[in-house]
Structure 1
């Protein structure tokens, strides 16, 4: 079972937040700067067709970027709210293991003892009766005549 990292360490979450904030800020700057310049040239009666027609398209593009950034920020907030609803995995408490003795403190192991005596079974071997009776049918006790 894989565990997901907490939201504070999630790179996609922070990436979504940074890109959304950047998009919203860029769209807001584009929209306000273009609308400000259009307002200035239209009130001065010095507007050219490029200022009016191209300025409107750029202002609409800025509004779209601002809206996309706001939607991204709302998505980031929704992901953060959903992350609080996830169950937290139970943390297992691991007790420390007693320290093993150091190798210097352990006595050297003795050489293995090799015996040349044959190994004798401690229990007698019991022979079992054969499973198939090889005696002819007429010598059997349990045979009944037909």
Structure 2
């Protein structure tokens, strides 16, 4: 059974919240600034095709970012609500046993403490048995030659 950390210490939860807030804020800024500049140039009759046509596309992109940020914020709230439905791990409360004279009757008598015997500091040194020397190597005698030539 794995235990999950509380939601307050969950890095993905806080990451989702921060990215959602940033996306919503960036989209809102982009949308309001572009719509404000488009309104100004259209009412002054100084609008160029770039202001009108590109401004509309940028405003739509800002609206999409704002919507994505809002969806992320709603997801964060849903995760926080679902986290409250998780069952808490059962915590068993153990109360200390009260000391009574009757309880002491069943305890064994304490054994006396005996100090340990001192340990020898060094172990006796055991010498290794001498190694026997290797027997000398005897070379084979050369083969005798026959009438047909050298022996094979």
Matching residue of 1:7:
7
Matching residue of 2:72:
72
| 1:13 aligned counterpart, secondary structure | helix
Alignment of 1:27-106 (within 5 A): 27-93=27-93
Q: What TM-score comes out, normalization by structure 1 length?
A: 0.65
Count of residue pairs brought into register by the alignment: 102
Q: What TM-score comes out, normalization by structure 2 length?
A: 0.63
Structure 1 segments, 4+ long, off by >4 Å, are 93-96
C-alpha separation in 2, matches of 1:72 and 1:19: 8
Cα displacement string for residues 61-105 of structure 1 (whole angstroms, at most 9, x for unaligned residues): 000000000000000000000000000001244789xxxxxxxxx
1:21 maps onto 2:18 in alignment: no
C-alpha separation in 2, matches of 1:60 and 1:91: 53
| 1:86 aligned counterpart, secondary structure | coil
- C-alpha RMSD over aligned residues: 1.9
Q: What is the CA-CA distance between 1:110 and the residue it aligns to?
A: 4.7
Matching residue of 1:109:
116
C-alpha separation in 2, matches of 1:48 and 1:107: 102
